[in-house]
Structures are given as structure tokens and as C-alpha cells.
Amino acid sequence: MKYLLAFFMVSLFILSCKEEKQYSSIDPVNWEKRTIAPSGSDSMIVGSTYLSVYSQIYSQTEHVTHDLTATVSMRNINRADTVYLTRAQYFDTKGNLIRTYFNRTIYIAPMETIEIVIDENDKEGGTGANFLFDWTAATDSQEPHFEAVMISTSGQQGLSFASQGIRLE
């Protein structure tokens, strides 16, 4: 009986300890490797792009939601020029800032794609989440391209759709 009680107490203690949820999309290590000092060149254009992202969508009624995994692609569509991102901010449905992925200049090499993955269990964004990206590029080059692909699978059913970034003036 003594051992059973001790086992019960240890089990209760272990079950009561909650681990803080960790999402793969928040890992800063990847961004640190891409950090670069701003060049300060006058031949750069500066811009911002808005991208809608859905971590949830409504299903059947406005009271039932379906969770999604979102892959946010940041693409350099130039063959020779590097583009630079200076900030990536993720907002929820109500416009509240959830997190800033980086606010130091990072690079995207020519024809390279880098990604942020919003895990299916990361529901903070809700049904109307969005990103704002600030970027710079050489005056005679293409602007970076931003796209999100949302997907979910359950059994033999699958759901997927995409959205594209819109340049803000």
C-alpha cells in the first residue's frame, strides 16, 4: 500500500507539470544564421507586403473551426540579385501582434525560398491571421514574392488553398 500511494503521488506530480507549448515556427536559430548587416546603398527600393494566413477556418457553422498548417514562403524571384527582409510580423484575427519572427535584416539569395511554418496546433492566429513583411531590394530587381499555403488532412479527406502577398503603398 505504501508503494502504491508513493506511485500515485509521483504520477500526480508528473501529470500536473505542464510543458509550455513549443511551435516549430518560432525557432530563432534559422533567422540568426541569415542575419546580415544592412548595406546602406542608395540604389535600394523599400517596401512592405501584406499576406493573409489562416491557422483556422470555419467548418459547418460559425461556431466550429478546423485547424490548418500554414507554410509561409518568402521567395526571391531574381536570378542574380539578393533581396533583404527587415521584419516579419504575425498578427491575429483582431489585429493584435502575436510575434515578430525577425526584426534584423536577413537575406534571401537569388532564386531561394525561405519559409515559416505555422503548426496546426498553433491556433493563435485564428481565422483571419496575417503577416506584414518589410523588405529592400535593388532598384532594378524584382520585389520578393510572398505566398502562404494552408493545408489539413483528416482520414481520407484533405483541404488546401493558397494566398499571395499584396504590396502596400
The DSSP code for 156 is T
> What does the pLDDT look like over 102-131, one tens digit per residue?
888 999 999 999 999 999 888 899 999 999
Measured CA distances, 48 to 21, 84, 92, 131, 169 (Å): 31, 12, 18, 10, 8
> What does the pLDDT look like over 41-94, one tens digit per residue?
668 999 999 999 998 988 888 888 888 999 999 999 999 999 999 999 999 999
Q: To which residue does cell 521567395 refer?
A: 75
Give the three cell numbers for residue 128: 483571419
122-159: burial string, b at 16+ Cβ within 10 Å, e else: bbbbbbbbbbbbbbbbbeebebbebbbbbebeeeeeee
